């Protein structure tokens, strides 16, 4: 049972119609300009609604719109849905694929394209483009093999609808997010109104004027979406009768069933649209004036003349067919007039031709001024001069399309926002059975969890420039540049990866940044992301390299041999040091023994000398004693000389032995092993084996 009263319904209906009329008052100037522009674009085909004087002589508006609309939208946008956080695999990837496939199914068969193209036409004719979304679900029963219903099924689908600028109103606001309400006007028949009207509300307004006008024509009904109350109101325009009040039917985060309207020309801080035609209306009127003058001169530019001689023969001659001879009855009259050239006096047209030539030149200049104002260059129109170089055309293509690209971004944004609304509707209203049927993807509990909040879990976008059918030659040129650059990059970085495999991930990141400068499409970008992930995993866990392992084993063997060699050399040095010590001890012993022998010999010499001196002295021969003494001294000197020579020889032998020991220590050697591989000795490369004890 409704909580409304009759007075509530009267106030509610009157309030909404007052708001709609206030919106019409705010936009009155724009609606008049938009109406004249639409009349001009449609060439005044509906004379019942348009004035014939509003139809231009030279319809530059129609030409501009027909040029711009295909340039800003000519291909179905491809959805690009990716998880906001986490890896794009498993359930997250499945759900992203589900959204993309379902949206493509809903936009298939040109259902979206037709509405976007109609909206783009409204945008550049009137100045406002509105495309809304509807959700429709037909409930029914599946029939089994026996012809009996087995279960209830639903056929959910999303419908796109272009709303005419005449049938749309919105509440006052400076920004779209602050718009309090939007309204759409429908023209419904009696049966449609009866199906729409709520019985309880109708009972409260039984005395209200019927929603239909007299005569049985379709009645204007306003569908009003109020953000503040979260409800949808259906109000008859003429009677103010509230036909129905519905709770939020779509449960969208933005509430309204449409994205922000596309308005190519608008002011900052104001949502009042501007008709694009008014931007160059003065030039268009000048173009019309020139065209009217051209048409007037052309209509008066006729071949006319006066006949001053025999009229019948000359008139018959002017109407004769090819290869026809005409007989003149009074040829002498024509001859007397000075011939045929003198017999006919022609109306002068040279001045008209001169004026006409100037008017055509002025019209071309006016058209060029209009193209400069609207930003439609000759390249966009598909025109080019034969004298222009390819570089000049490329520059004009690049800079001449900048203003067109702004309009393209507006349409891309609108389509993206439509896909966001579609994703919300899919998550809120589509059953898992319908999703599995449309996509062929099995939906589990993890997928159902992600499906509940598409805007929280996913970034919904469209592929770059997918709404524009790019030039095939340009695509091939870009792909050739991409492949050439990729080949050069990988060939240059291959030695770096071989020398440092751990740098592969960083190099692939750099390559990814390079590759994203090209419009490769979603599938190629996904493959590139997977390639970067593989490179990261490979750098963290590099696979075994047989060559590297062989080099490592060889290095380990050489290191072991070097260690064994050092060990053998250390043992050899110990032996040599021990031998050197023994040799030094032997030499020291020999020297001490030699000293003792020298002392003994000196004692013997002294003894002999004393005995000789004593004998000489006893014999009484002083000279004999002296001679003996001299001989003993000579022997002592000789002995000292021999002793000094022996000392020198001993020192030389010690020096030679030390040199040999040092030479043996620094000479190249190799390790000698037994049958079990244990080191048993060291052998010099050019010497003999020495056993290590």
Tokens in use for 344?
């006919």
Nearest to 514 by CA among 536, 538, 483, 492: 483
Mean pLDDT of 128-142: 79
Tokens in use for 103?
């949206």
pLDDT tens string 383-421: 555 555 555 555 555 555 667 788 888 898 999 999 999
Residue 377: pLDDT over 90: no
CA 572 – CA 692 distance, rounded (Å) = 7
**Which bin fits 309, alpha (ψ -120 to 50), beta or left (φ > 0)?**
beta
Mean pLDDT of 165-182: 94
CA 381 – CA 560 distance, rounded (Å) = 80
Mean pLDDT of 611-615: 65
Q: Is 221 helix (H, G, I), strand (E, B) or coil?
A: strand
CA 282 – CA 689 distance, rounded (Å) = 114
- Residue 41 pLDDT level (bands cut at 50, 70, 90): confident
**679-684 β-sheet, strand order:** 669-673, 679-684, 689-691
pLDDT tens string 271-291: 899 998 898 888 888 888 998
Supply the mean pLDDT for the chain. 76
Give helix then strand counts, H and E, for the chain: 23, 14
How is residue 213 annotated by DSSP? P
How is residue 468 annotated by DSSP? S
- Residue 144 pLDDT level (bands cut at 50, 70, 90): very low
Mean pLDDT of 192-211: 76
Q: Is 184 helix (H, G, I), strand (E, B) or coil?
A: strand
Nearest to 241 by CA among 294, 194, 288: 194
- Render 177-195 in DSSP notation, one character per residue: GG--EEEEEEEE-HHHHHH
pLDDT tens string 463-517: 766 666 555 556 666 677 778 877 887 788 778 777 777 777 777 778 777 776 6
Residue 460: pLDDT over 90: no
Residue 51: pLDDT over 60: no
Mean pLDDT of 433-459: 84
Q: In Å, what is the CA distance from 225 to each residue of 8, 61, 64, 231, 503?
A: 18, 34, 35, 6, 57
CA 408 – CA 416 distance, rounded (Å) = 12
Q: Are 169 and 23 in contact (CB under 8 A)?
A: yes
How is residue 674 annotated by DSSP? -
- Residue 45 pLDDT level (bands cut at 50, 70, 90): low
pLDDT above 70 as % of the chain: 63
Q: Are 374 and 64 in contact (CB under 8 A)?
A: yes
Residue 149: pLDDT over 60: no
């Amino acid at each position: 049972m409704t909580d409304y009263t009759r007075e509530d319904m009267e106030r509610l209906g009157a309030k909404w119609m007052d708001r709609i009329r206030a919106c019409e008052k705010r936009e009155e100037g724009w609606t008049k300009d938009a109406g004249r522009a639409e009349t001009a674009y449609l060439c005044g085909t509906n004379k019942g609604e348009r004035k014939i004087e509003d139809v231009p002589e030279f319809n530059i508006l129609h030409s501009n719109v027909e040029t711009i609309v295909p340039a800003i939208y000519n291909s179905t946008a491809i959805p690009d849905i990716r998880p906001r956080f986490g890896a794009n695999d498993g359930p997250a990837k499945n759900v992203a694929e589900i959204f993309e496939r379902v949206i493509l199914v809903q936009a298939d068969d040109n259902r979206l394209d037709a509405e976007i193209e109609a909206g783009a036409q409204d945008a550049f004719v009137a100045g406002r483009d509105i495309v809304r979304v509807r959700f429709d679900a037909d409930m029914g029963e599946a029939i089994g093999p026996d012809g009996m219903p087995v279960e209830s099924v639903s056929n959910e689908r999303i419908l796109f609808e272009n709303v005419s600028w005449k049938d749309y109103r919105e509440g006052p606001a400076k920004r779209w997010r602050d718009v309090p309400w939007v309204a759409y006007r429908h023209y419904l028949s009696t049966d449609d109104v009866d199906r729409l009207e709520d019985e309880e509300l109708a009972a409260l307004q039984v005395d209200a004027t019927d929603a239909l006008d007299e005569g049985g024509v379709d009645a204007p009904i306003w569908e009003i979406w109020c953000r503040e109350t979260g409800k949808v109101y259906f109000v008859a325009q003429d009677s103010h009768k509230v036909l129905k009040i519905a709770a939020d039917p779509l449960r969208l985060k933005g509430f309204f069933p449409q994205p922000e309207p596309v308005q190519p020309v608008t002011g900052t801080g104001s949502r009042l649209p501007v008709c694009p035609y008014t931007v160059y209306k003065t030039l268009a009127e000048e173009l019309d004036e020139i065209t009217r003058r051209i048409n007037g001169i052309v209509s008066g530019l006729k071949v006319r003349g006066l006949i001053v001689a025999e009229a019948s023969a000359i008139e018959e001659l002017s109407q004769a067919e090819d290869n026809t001879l005409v007989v003149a009855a009074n040829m002498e009259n024509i001859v007397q007039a000075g011939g045929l050239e003198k017999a006919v006096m022609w109306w002068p047209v040279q001045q008209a031709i001169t004026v006409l030539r100037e008017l055509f030149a002025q019209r071309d200049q006016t058209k060029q001024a209009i193209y400069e104002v609207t930003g439609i260059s000759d390249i966009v129109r598909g025109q080019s001069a034969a004298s222009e170089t390819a570089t000049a055309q490329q520059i004009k293509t690049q800079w001449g399309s900048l203003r067109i690209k702004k309009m393209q971004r507006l349409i891309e944004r609108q389509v993206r926002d439509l896909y966001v609304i579609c994703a919300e509707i899919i998550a809120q209203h589509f059953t898992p059975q319908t999703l599995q049927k449309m996509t062929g993807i099995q939906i589990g509990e993890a997928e159902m969890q992600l499906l509940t909040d598409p805007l929280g879990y996913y970034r919904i976008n469209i592929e770059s420039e997918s709404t524009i059918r790019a030039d095939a030659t340009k695509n091939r040129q870009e792909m050739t540049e991409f492949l050439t650059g990729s080949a050069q990059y990988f060939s240059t970085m291959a030695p770096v990866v071989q020398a440092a495999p751990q740098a592969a991930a960083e190099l692939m990141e750099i390559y990814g940044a390079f590759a994203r400068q090209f419009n490769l499409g979603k599938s190629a970008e996904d493959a590139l992301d997977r390639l970067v992930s593989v490179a990261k995993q490979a750098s963290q866990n590099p696979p075994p390299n047989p060559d590297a392992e062989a080099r490592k084993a060889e290095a380990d063997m050489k290191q072991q041999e070097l260690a064994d060699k050092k060990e053998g050399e250390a043992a050899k040095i110990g032996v040599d040091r021990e031998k050197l010590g023994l040799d030094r001890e032997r030499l020291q012993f020999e020297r001490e023994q030699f000293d003792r022998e020298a002392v003994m010999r000196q004692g013997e010499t002294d003894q002999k000398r004393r005995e000789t001196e004593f004998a000489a002295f006893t014999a009484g021969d002083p000279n004999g004693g002296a001679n003996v003494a001299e001989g003993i001294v000579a022997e002592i000197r000789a002995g000292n000389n021999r002793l000094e020579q022996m000392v020198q020889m001993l020192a030389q032998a010690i020096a030679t032995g030390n040199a040999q020991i040092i030479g043996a220590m620094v000479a190249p050697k190799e390790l000698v092993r037994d049958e079990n591989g244990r080191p048993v000795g060291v052998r010099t490369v050019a010497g003999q084996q020495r056993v290590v004890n």
